[in-house]
Amino acid sequence: MPAFLIADIDVNDPDTYANYIKANPDIVNKFGGRYIARGGAVKVLEGDWQPRRTVVIEFPDMATIEAFYDSPEYTELRKIRWQSADSRLVAIETLDEPIERP
C-alpha cells in the first residue's frame, strides 16, 4: 500500500541546501516516488507546531521509503541536508480502505 514520507525542514544554509534540492528528485524518481507537496504555503490549524519547509513524497510502500532512505545515493545526499538544515522526517502508511463517513 502507498506510504508517504513527510519532512519538516528548517533551512539554515540556503546555498548548500540548493544542491540537495537539485539532486533529490532524481533519487526520488528512481524509487518510484512522487512529490505531493514541496515547500508550499502551510497554515497551522491546531497546536504549536510551526513547520518551516514541508515536503510530502508518495512512495509505492513503506519498504520502498526505507530502501530510498538507506540507498547509497541518498545516504550521501542526506549529508548535505544535515549540513544545511534541521530536519524532521516521518514515514506513514496509507489506509487499505478509506474511512467512510457515518
pLDDT category at 95 given cuts 50, 70, 90 is confident
Q: Which domain holds residue 85?
A: 3-93
The answer to the question of residue 98 being in a domain is no
Residue 97 has pLDDT above 80, yes or no: no
CATH number (domain holding residue 35): 3.30.70.100
SS3 31: coil
The reported pLDDT for the residue numbered 30 is: 97
Strand spans (E) along the chain? 3-11, 34-38, 53-59, 85-93
How many distinct structural domains can be found in the chain?
1
The answer to the question of residue 99 being in a domain is no
Say if CB 11 and CB 84 are below 8 A apart: yes
pTM of the model: 0.89
